[in-house]
Amino acid sequence: ASFLLLCFRTSLVTALIFSLLLQPPLTQLSIITQPNIVLLMADDLGIGDVGCYGNDTIRTPNIDQLAKEGVKLTQHIAAAPLCTPSRAAFLTGRYPIRSGMDAINNYRVIFWNGGSGGLPPNETTFAKILQQQGYSTGLIGKWHQGVNCESRNDHCHHPLNHGFDYFYGMPFTLISDCQPNETPEMDRAFRRKLWLSTQMVGLVTLTAALGRLTGLISVRWKMLICLAGFSLLFFISWFSSYGFVRYWNCIMMRNHEVTEQPMVTDRTTSLILRESISFVERNKHKPFLLFLSFLHSHTPLLTTEKFLGKSRHGLYGDNVEEMDWMVGQVLDVIDKEGLKNTTLVYFASDHGGWLERQEGKRQLGGWNGIYRGGKAMGGWEGGIRVPGIFRWPGVLSAGTVIDEPTSLMDIYPTVVHLAGGVLPQDRVIDGRDLMPLLRGTVEHSEHEFLFHYCGIHLHAVRWHQKDSGAIWKAHYMTPIFRPLGAGACYDRGFCPCFGEGVTHHDPPLLFDLSRDPSEAKPLSPDTEPLFDTVIRKMGRAIEEHRRTLTPVPEQLSVYNVVWKPWLQPCCGMFPFCWCDKEGDN
């Protein structure tokens, strides 16, 4: 009996050992649990500005280490070449044209905190789904998706109305107007025209008054008073907004409360870092989503004394190196709290670097490496190809490089599935879950076609022909670079999406990015036997894509974009909006 009992015990132990050996590895177990999710997004950072993407003059050791410990994407594509539409697509997993966040005019981003346009309340962000799944959700840094709709305190576009439990940062975006000693950046050309018009109207009024006093001109005093009143009203109508940009747009908020108006730029970086670290420490005992949306590396390139003059790339390089240090500080707190193996970290930029951003001989915008074009250019690769890095130890293999087309929109379904959520079934989601590709269980990206918009205008289409490995890209419209031979629109400061500033191509310009990633040599029917076949295939894809689009309110219409005093966030009694609650603390 004892022998049988011993045999039974031995077989039981053997079976137990085999069952343990046959258990799925840690990788499988980790997928089941809800990981913490940390999304790091740079602002206006070019793909050529990062060491692991080929830059050897700007030091980015922390971002480079993130790539060494995880997965680097070499064809990570923004859904738009500007902040507002790109970030709308990132948050919703949908092309911005679907939510009305792409422009029908030349106002292609949210222009004022006091505007009425923004991310519509009926859009479902990934933050909202993760919030429903029990995550603590926080956004630190830049928002640029609008604030109010109809009244100063309705906060219909605010982060807290889009699934974030906590918000600290800029509801707008960083601009040079936020620095008193910097040249104004916002609507610079239009502002010059307004000043000129004001001076001309004033000069006419003054001339008429002098003529009346000297008797050279016969004009009634009543007419002069009306003319003077018109001049004053015209001046007030535009100066009440453009004359106080720093007070209206350069503000900081904590949740719904304005904490700095205007923001004190000297301490912005340290406050954003402090808030990010504090959010991780407060929420380490439950699943959390942290979206750290950097103000770096957008002009005016706020950089602390510690990093000024330290890079080999001037102020822009200093700013990027400081952002890299901030990335390192956030990763350090994740490690210190023992969260490294249970946290998915993602790093990207919202779009390409701004080539035209210069002051004299100083280059204040980023570099897009070998890729043509930059920020604001809807089709050219330099405006939309961005860094894309994932790290999740034990789940994603370290040192992996994936050369497949992926999109910033893919973050949406990826994090929703990891959190155990369900994608909305009542709308088109353009993003694709990246986990199978990142983990190597599939060879190719799910994206066959990607559509590249500039505002509401379709500029280019990408076709990933998986059986051949070709990545075809057809340009139907391209911006006209000036001066001739330049690589950007230096005459305008921004490339337009339509009108006389673009060239229409029929047949379209065709490139195979797998052979010509710099888009230097367009193909033709003479040089490419598949030319007509590829163009026809893309034409059918465009038709199918357009059938999925439905009319929606235009969030960036002129009415929605203009400043409305009754919508302006204000920490005092409007128009006396001034406070420094951080300084008081």
Q: Which residues are catalytic?
A: 83, 144
Tell me whether the omega of the peptide bond preceding residue 262 falls within 30 degrees of 0, making it cis. yes
Tokens (6 digits) for 529: 């036997």
β 166-170/136-142 pair status: parallel
Round to whole Å and give the CA distance between 10 and 231.
99
Q: Which residues contact 499 (CB under 8 A, 6 or more apart)?
A: none
Give the list of residues 6+ apart from residue 259 with CB closer than 8 angstroms, or none: 252, 253, 571, 579, 581, 582
Nearest 5°: the CA angle 461, 349, 475 is 15
Order across the sheet with 457-465: list the strands: 449-454, 457-465, 470-479, 502-512
For residue 376, what are the contacts with CB-CB under 8 A and spacing of at least 6?
81, 82, 108, 354, 383, 454, 489, 494, 495
Q: Counting beta carbons within 10 angstroms of the beta carbon of residue 500, is it exposed (0 to 12), middle (13 to 18) or buried (19 or more)?
A: exposed
Question: What is the C-alpha to C-alpha distance for residues 316 and 366, in angstroms, rounded to an integer?
Answer: 7
Nearest CA-CA partner of 262 in 573, 574, 570, 585: 570
Give the amino acid at 55. Answer: N
For residue 274, the tally of other CB atoms under 10 A from its CB is 14
Instruction: Report DSSP state, residue 578.
Output: -
Distance separating alpha carbons of residues 578 and 566, to the nearest angstrom: 16
Cα distances (Å, whole numbers) of residue 73 to 271, 344, 400, 410: 31, 15, 9, 12
The residue type found at 504 is H
HSE at residue 580, side-chain half, CA atoms within 13 A, is 9
Using DSSP, state whether 331 is helix, strand or coil. helix
Tell me the β-bridge partners of 37. Answer: 289, 344
CB neighbour burial string for 432-467, b if at least 16 within 10 angstroms, e if fewer: bbbbebbbeeeeebbbebbbbbbbbbbbbbbbbeee
If we measure between CA atoms, which residue out of 161, 156, 171 comes closest to residue 84? Answer: 171
